[in-house]
C-alpha cells in the first residue's frame, strides 16, 4: 500500500498549488528515456533551461560522496547551470578514479549535445553503490535524450512526467508538484521533481530533489532560500536512518518570467511557496518509504527553540520502535515519548501532553484512559499523527517518516537482484 498525501488546492491567496512538474516554469524542458540501465523502466533524464540559470545546491554530508556529487558541487560553486543529466540504477559511488572520469564524461557528452560549456551541466546518479557505470548504456541514453531535446516537435506534459519517472529507484510513484506565485512585480512559477524511498535520513537532503523557477533571483538569496526550505522539509524526513552517498537538492532560477524576487515582501511569499512545495515532496517521500503502509507525522510544540522541536520530532519518526508500533497498530505511545526524550535536549516530563490523531493519550505527564479498539482503528488510517506539547516555549516543528514492515527487509535483502 502506498500512502498518497492529499495536496492542498490553495495554500493562500498569492500561492496556488498545481499538479505540474519541473517543466511548469517558463523556459524549462525535461525528458526521460530507457537507456538499458534497468530492465524495462525509464532510467535516464535530462533537464534543460533555455538560458543559463542561477544555480544552487545542497549535498550529502556523507564522507563517501559519489563522483557526481563532487562534480555538481563544483557547478554550484560557480553559480550558473543550464542542464542536468540523471541516471538511475547505478550510483557511481565508491567507483574510484574511473567513477570520476565517467561522471565527467556524462557532463561533457551532454554539454556537446546541447552546445553549452561543460561547467553548466549538473550530473546526478542514484542506485547501486560500488559498481562502475555501464558507459555504453549511458552513451546511448545521452544520445536519445539529446535527440528528444533537438526535435522541433511541440513539448508535451508527458516529457516532464517521463523525466520524473526516470530518476526513480525503489520508489513506487513519481513525486512532482508546482506552485503559481503572485508577487508585487507579477506572477512566477516553481516546479519540482524528487525521488526517495529508502536510505533516507536527515543529514542533508536525503534524496534527489530538483527545483525549477522562472523567477529572477540573485545567487546569495537563492542559496539562502534553498537552504531554509531544505532545513524545514527534506531535513525532517527519515525512512530508515541511513544516509546516502548521492543525495542532493538542486535549484535553477532562470528569470524568464521577467519578475525579480527582490524586496522583503516578495522574498517572504516566494520562500513560503518554495518551502510548502518541498514539504509536499518530503511527505511524498516519507509516505513512499520502502515497504511502507503508513505515513507517520510527529509534531512537537511548546519547545524552547525550533531546532529543539525539530530534533525531537526527527528522533520520533526515525525510531524503529515507533515505526514498528505503527505498523502493528499497537498504541504503545510510551515509545514516542521515549524517542522524544532521546534527542539530547531535556524537558519536564511532568508537563508533557501527547495525542494521536486527536486522541489524548498523555496530559500533564499523566497517562489518560483510552479505548484500545478505537486507538487501533485510528492507527489503521493512512497517516498517523502524533502531537507532542512540551509546554516549555513557543516553538514548534514537524517531521515525517513511515512504518517499518517485513517488506522493507525483503526489498533491501535482495536489492542487488532487483
130 and 155 housed in the same domain: yes
Chosen domain end from 238, 270, 287 = 287
What mean pLDDT comes out for the span 194-200?
Answer: 64
The pLDDT value given to residue 202 = 47
Q: Is 71 inside any structural domain? A: yes
Residues 258 and 386 in one domain: no
Check: CB of residue 83 under 8 Å from CB of residue 116: yes
In a domain, 415, yes or no: no
C-alpha cell of 391?
A: 509546554
299 and 283 co-located in one domain: no
| DSSP H or E stretch at residue 104 | helix 96-114
Write phi, then psi, for 12 (nearest 5 degrees): -160, 175
Question: Same structural domain for residues 336 and 255?
Answer: no
Bridge partner list, 177:
192
Q: Is residue 410 part of a domain?
A: no
Report, as residue numbers or ranges, the catalytic residues: 206
Query: What domain count does the chain have?
Result: 2
Confidence (pLDDT) at 197: 57
Q: For residues 266 and 68, what is the distance between their CA atoms, to the nearest angstrom?
A: 34
In a domain, 411, yes or no: no
DSSP state, residue 234? G
Position 288 scores a pLDDT of 86
Q: Residue 12 — very low, low, confident or very high, per pLDDT cuts 50/70/90?
A: low
Domain assignment of residue 101, yes or no: yes
Residue 161, pLDDT above cutoff 50 = yes
> 142-156, 279-293, 350-364 — which one is most confidently predicted on average?
350-364
Are 104 and 19 members of one domain? Answer: yes
> What is the residue whose three cell numbers read 514492515?
405
Q: End-to-end distance of the chain based on CA atoms, in angstroms?
A: 19
**pTM exceeding the 0.85 threshold for the entire prediction:** yes
Q: What percent of the chain has pLDDT over 90?
A: 77
pLDDT tens figures, 63-92: 889 999 999 999 999 999 999 999 999 999
- DSSP string for residues in 126-149: BSBSSS---HHHHHHHHHHHHHHH
Residue 310 — φ and ψ, nearest 5°?
-65, -45
Q: Identify the pLDDT of residue 240.
A: 55
CA distances from 40 to 33, 34, 89, 104, 134 (A): 10, 7, 11, 26, 16
Do residues 322 and 316 touch, judged by C-beta distance below 8 A?
Answer: yes
Q: What is the mean pLDDT of the chain?
A: 90
20: left (phi over 0), alpha (psi -120 to 50) or beta: beta
> For the domain that residue 322 is a member of, what is the CATH number?
3.10.20.340
85 and 198 within one domain = yes
H or E segment to which residue 227 belongs: helix 219-231
Which of 287, 311, 334 finishes a domain?
287
pLDDT(203) > 50? no
What is the pLDDT, as a whole number, of residue 128? 87
Tell whether 2 is covered by a domain: no
Taking the CA of residue 132 as centre, how many other CA atoms within 13 Å lie in the half-sphere pointing to its CB? 10
Residues 213 and 117 placed together within one structural domain of the fold: yes
In this structure, are 30 and 90 located in the same domain?
yes
Q: pLDDT tier at 331 (50, 70, 90 boundaries)? A: very high
Question: In terms of domains, do 264 and 309 share one?
Answer: no
Host domain of residue 397 = 295-402
pLDDT tens sequence across 20-76: 999 999 999 999 999 999 998 999 999 999 999 999 999 988 888 999 999 999 999
Neighbours of 398 (CB within 10 A): 23
Instruction: Specify whether the backbone of 205 is left (phi greater than 0), alpha (psi in -120 to 50) or beta.
Output: alpha
pLDDT category at 10 given cuts 50, 70, 90 is very low
409 in any annotated domain: no
Residue 398 forms part of a structural domain: yes
CATH number at residue 177: 3.60.70.12
Question: So what's the pLDDT on residue 158?
Answer: 73
End position of a domain, from candidates 226, 253, 287: 287
User: Do 238 and 269 share a domain, yes or no?
Assistant: yes
pLDDT in tens, 258-312: 999 999 999 999 999 999 999 999 999 988 877 788 999 999 999 999 999 999 9
Task: Indicate if 224 and 359 belong to the same structural domain.
Answer: no
Q: Are residues 301 and 194 in the same domain?
A: no
Amino acid at each position: 500500500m502506498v500512502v498518497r498525501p492529499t495536496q492542498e488546492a490553495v495554500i493562500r491567496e498569492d500561492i496556488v498549488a498545481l499538479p505540474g512538474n519541473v517543466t511548469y516554469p517558463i523556459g524549462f524542458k525535461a525528458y526521460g528515456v530507457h537507456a538499458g540501465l534497468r530492465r524495462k523502466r525509464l532510467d535516464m533524464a535530462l533537464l534543460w533551461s533555455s538560458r543559463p540559470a542561477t544555480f544552487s545546491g545542497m549535498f550529502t554530508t556523507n564522507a563517501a560522496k559519489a563522483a557526481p556529487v563532487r562534480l555538481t558541487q563544483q557547478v554550484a560553486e560557480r553559480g550558473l547551470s543550464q542542464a542536468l543529466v540523471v541516471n538511475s540504477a547505478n550510483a557511481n559511488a565508491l567507483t574510484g578514479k574511473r567513477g570520476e572520469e565517467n561522471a565527467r564524461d556524462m557532463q561533457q557528452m551532454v554539454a556537446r549535445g546541447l552546445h553549452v560549456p561543460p561547467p553548466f551541466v549538473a550530473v546526478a546518479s542514484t542506485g547501486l553503490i560500488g559498481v562502475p557505470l555501464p558507459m555504453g548504456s549511458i552513451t546511448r541514453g545521452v544520445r536519445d535524450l539529446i535527440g528528444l531535446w533537438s526535435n522541433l516537435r511541440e513539448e508535451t506534459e508527458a516529457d516532464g512526467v517521463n523525466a520524473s519517472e526516470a530518476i526513480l529507484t525503489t520508489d513506487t510513484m513519481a513525486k512532482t508538484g508546482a506552485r503559481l506565485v503572485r508577487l508585487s512585480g507579477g506572477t512566477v512559477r516553481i516546479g519540482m521533481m524528487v525521488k526517495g524511498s529508502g536510505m533516507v535520513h536527515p543529514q542533508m537532503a536525503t534524496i534527489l530533489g530538483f527545483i525549477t523557477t522562472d523567477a529572477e533571483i540573485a545567487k546569495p538569496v537563492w542559496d539562502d532560500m534553498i537552504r531554509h526550505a531544505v532545513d524545514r522539509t527534506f531535513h525532517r524526513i527519515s525512512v530508515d536512518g541511513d544516509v546516502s552517498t548521492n543525495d542532493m537538492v538542486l535549484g535553477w532560477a532562470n528569470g524568464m518570467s521577467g519578475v525579480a524576487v527582490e524586496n522583503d515582501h516578495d522574498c517572504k511569499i516566494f520562500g513560503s511557496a518554495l518551502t510548502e512545495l518541498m514539504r509536499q515532496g518530503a511527505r511524498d517521500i516519507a509516505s513512499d518509504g520502502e515497504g511502507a503502509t503508513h505515513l507517520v507525522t510527529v509534531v512537537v510544540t511548546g519547545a524552547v527553540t525550533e531546532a529543539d522541536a525539530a530534533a525531537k520530532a526527527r528522533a520520533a519518526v526515525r525510531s524503529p520502535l515507533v515505526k514498528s508500533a505503527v505498523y502493528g497498530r499497537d498504541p504503545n505511545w510510551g515509545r514516542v515519548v521515549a524517542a522524544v526524550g532521546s534527542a539530547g535536549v531535556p524537558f519536564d516530563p511532568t508537563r508533557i501532553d501527547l495525542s494521536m490523531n486527536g486522541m489524548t493519550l498523555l496530559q500533564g505527564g499523566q497517562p489518560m484512559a483510552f479505548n484500545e479498539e478505537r486507538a487501533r482503528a485510528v492507527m489503521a488510517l493512512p497517516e498517523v499523527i502524533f502531537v507532542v506539547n512540551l509546554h516549555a516555549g513557543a516553538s514548534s516543528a514537524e517531521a515525517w517518516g513511515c512504518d517499518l514492515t517485513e517488506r522493507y527487509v525483503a526489498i533491501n535483502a535482495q536489492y542487488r537482484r532487483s
